[in-house]
């Protein structure tokens, strides 16, 4: 995980230094990596300098706050409100409940209770991409790659189209 963070920071710095115009897809992927590593400041630095933010960028930045070691739900919620104020309509069901459900799943996984985390996923009224991502991440971090692949196949069976983050 550390090597991925180091590479992400290097890539981000290289893009700034060379003036490379970061695509929304690349910026969102970097935000996702910062979320995975709990790098709030790096994620926010990138997010604040983006010239264009689509709903996926907003969602990725909200995830940075949710996945932080302390799970900064206040900032996540405030960012969600800012997204709405910016007239960005949530897609894939991004709702206030999604943030709490994802945070709950993440909390159980960080405590090592992957069974409870999976119960949260199973009991979620709607399964959003970020919720699927959180469960796959939980299994990956918990050394249960086969279960992570099982979740990936469930995602596809549920008709959710995998994005760059899933692959």
Q: Identify whether the C-beta of residue 55 lies closer than 8 Å to the C-beta of residue 90.
A: yes
Encode pLDDT of 112-126 as tens digits. Answer: 888 888 887 877 766
Question: In the prediction, which pLDDT does 34 show?
Answer: 80
Spatial distance between the Cα atoms of 160 and 96, rounded to a whole number of angstroms? 20
Burial class (CB in 10 A: 0-12, 13-18, 19+), 126: exposed
Question: In the prediction, which pLDDT does 74 show?
Answer: 75
Question: In the prediction, which pLDDT does 48 show?
Answer: 92
Which spans in the chain are helix H?
A: 2-18, 24-37, 40-48, 55-67, 73-85, 96-110, 114-123, 129-141, 145-157
Give the relative orientation of helices 40-48 and 24-37 as an angle to the nearest 10 degrees. Answer: 160
**How many residues are present in the chain?**
167
Question: In the prediction, which pLDDT does 163 show?
Answer: 62
The number of beta carbons lying within 10 Å of the beta carbon of residue 150 is: 15
Question: In the prediction, which pLDDT does 63 show?
Answer: 78
Question: In the prediction, which pLDDT does 78 show?
Answer: 82
Question: In the prediction, which pLDDT does 162 show?
Answer: 67
Question: In the prediction, which pLDDT does 94 show?
Answer: 53
Question: In the prediction, which pLDDT does 132 show?
Answer: 81
pLDDT tens digits for the chain (167 residues)?
566 678 778 877 887 788 766 678 778 878 877 877 778 888 898 899 888 888 888 888 887 887 765 566 778 878 888 988 898 877 655 555 677 677 778 777 887 888 888 887 877 766 667 788 888 888 888 888 899 889 888 888 888 776 655 44
**Domain-wise residue ranges, the chain:** 2-85, 96-157
């Amino acid at each position: 995980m550390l090597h991925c963070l180091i590479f992400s920071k290097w890539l981000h710095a290289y893009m700034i230094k060379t003036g490379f115009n970061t695509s929304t897809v690349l910026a969102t992927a970097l935000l996702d990596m910062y979320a995975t590593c709990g790098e709030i400041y790096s994620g926010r630095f990138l997010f604040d300098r983006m010239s264009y933010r689509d709903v996926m960028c907003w969602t990725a930045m909200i995830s940075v706050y949710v996945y932080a070691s302390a799970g900064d739900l206040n900032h996540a919620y405030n960012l969600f409100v800012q997204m709405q104020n910016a007239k960005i309509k949530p897609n894939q069901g991004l709702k206030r409940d999604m943030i709490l459900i994802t945070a709950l799943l993440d909390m159980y996984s960080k405590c090592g209770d992957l069974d409870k985390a999976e119960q949260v996923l199973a009991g979620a009224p709607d399964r959003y991409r970020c919720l699927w991502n959180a469960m796959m991440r939980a299994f990956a971090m918990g050394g249960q790659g086969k279960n992570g692949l099982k979740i990936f196949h469930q995602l596809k069976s549920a008709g959710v189209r995998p994005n760059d983050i899933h692959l």
